[in-house]
């Protein structure tokens, strides 16, 4: 697959409302030159970007986008809605500094159109927040302007919601919000209240300390409800003797601690139809879900043949400085079927 790091979206907050009397236009491109607006004004006057506008207004950056030259990867309202954000007032209690970091993470200096992006995985662009955006481009599509593009696993919209020409830059709308959490996977998981039992399992299986190293790593974390469904309580995990099981039993969740940097969209962005990751002879195919094939080819014999990503804001493509983290809805195998031989 790939060995590189990826970043994620920390927190979003949307405070002040847009002026009530302003006219909101539908998103359009190919406007007459006399009607082309500066970036901040364009965002302010388009209803589908009203939540983005509110967030930028709260951090005092909306008008700043009228000066300088920028490219903005702009989440539509529906992308915010998918994270539970439906109105500006939803974010009154959120941390302004976190919001500032998150929204500036969507902006890169200069004017960049889709045709300017190399057709490969993980073109790295430094955002205004200082963190890298991972921009992947595939040559599928009718001409470079129609190529499939994803940002940290978040798809860019098709035309006419891309290559929006502005007086001081360009804008491409996103179907989802790229997530970046500064710090390591270990730090991310230590704060993840939905994965506390998985963290204990990582410590019991002696993988925890490695998640503070450079990596990059990709980690699939069963949530607490999954662990409890299989009787994996804090007490039972503390009594696991990992030496009694094959390494794949507990190291499958970290892909064997091998250097891998995997977004959920990577498979769809490469020309290899069955792109997989190998872990102790097993093959993992990350796609819309995880497809798992044991080393002996007996799919489904030692656990589920496919595992779905979790629900909610942290379900997938959570980028840290040393890798990517997912929540998953099932175990990836059943250790009692994998005794040490």
Identify whether the C-beta of residue 205 lies closer than 8 Å to the C-beta of residue 253.
Answer: no
For the chain, report the end-to-end CA distance as a whole number of angstroms.
Answer: 30
Whether residue 257 is predicted with pLDDT greater than 70 in this model: the reply is: yes
Greatest CA separation found in the chain? 74
Decide: helix, strand or coil at residue 215.
Answer: coil
Measured distance CA(325)–CA(319) in Å, rounded: 7
- pTM reported for the whole predicted model: 0.87
Residue 277: partners with Cβ closer than 8 Å, 6 or more residues away:
1, 218, 255, 258, 260, 262, 283, 284, 285, 286
Identify whether the C-beta of residue 71 lies closer than 8 Å to the C-beta of residue 112.
Answer: yes
pLDDT band at 223 (very low <50, low <70, confident <90, very high): very high
Encode pLDDT of 134-181 as tens digits.
Answer: 999 998 878 878 899 999 999 999 999 999 999 999 999 999 999 999
Encode pLDDT of 67-116 as tens digits.
Answer: 999 999 999 999 999 988 899 888 777 889 999 999 999 999 999 999 99
Encode pLDDT of 277-291 as tens digits.
Answer: 999 999 999 998 999
Q: Which domains does the chain have, with CATH numbers?
A: 33-180 (2.30.180.10), 185-337 (2.30.180.10)
Decide: helix, strand or coil at residue 70.
Answer: strand
What single-letter DSSP state applies at residue 192?
-
* pLDDT value for 144: 79
């Amino acid at each position: 697959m790939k060995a590189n790091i990826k970043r994620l979206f920390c927190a979003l907050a949307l405070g002040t409302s847009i002026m009530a009397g302003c006219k909101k236009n539908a998103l359009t491109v190919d406007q007459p030159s006399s009607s082309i607006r500066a970036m901040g004004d364009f965002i302010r006057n388009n209803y589908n970007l009203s939540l983005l506008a509110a967030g930028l207004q709260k951090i005092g950056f909306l008008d700043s986008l009228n000066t300088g030259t920028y490219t903005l990867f702009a989440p539509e309202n529906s992308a915010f809605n998918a994270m539970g954000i439906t109105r500006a007032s939803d974010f009154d209690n959120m941390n302004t500094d976190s919001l500032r970091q998150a929204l500036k993470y969507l902006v890169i200096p200069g004017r960049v159109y889709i045709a300017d992006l190399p057709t490969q995985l993980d073109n790295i662009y430094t955002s205004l927040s200082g963190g890298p955006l991972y921009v992947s481009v595939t040559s599928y599509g009718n001409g470079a302007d129609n190529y499939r593009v994803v940002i940290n696993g978040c798809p860019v919209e098709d035309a006419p919601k891309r290559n929006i020409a502005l007086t001081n830059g360009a804008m491409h709308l996103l179907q989802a919000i790229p997530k970046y959490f500064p710090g390591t996977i270990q730090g991310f998981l230590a704060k993840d209240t939905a994965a506390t039992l998985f963290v204990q399992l990582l410590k019991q299986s002696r993988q925890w300390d490695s998640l503070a190293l450079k990596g990059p790593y990709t980690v699939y974390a069963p949530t607490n409800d999954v662990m409890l469904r299989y009787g994996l309580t804090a007490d039972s995990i503390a009594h696991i003797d990992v030496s009694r099981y094959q390494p794949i039993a507990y190291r499958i969740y970290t892909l064997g601690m091998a250097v891998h940097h995997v977004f959920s969209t990577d498979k769809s962005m490469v020309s290899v139809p069955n792109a997989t990751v190998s872990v102790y002879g097993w093959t993992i195919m990350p796609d819309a879900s995880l497809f798992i094939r044991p080393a002996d080819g007996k799919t489904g014999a030692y656990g589920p043949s496919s595992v779905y990503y979790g629900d909610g804001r942290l379900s997938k493509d959570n980028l840290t400085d040393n890798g990517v983290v997912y929540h998953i809805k099932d175990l990836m195998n059943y250790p009692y079927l994998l005794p040490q031989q």
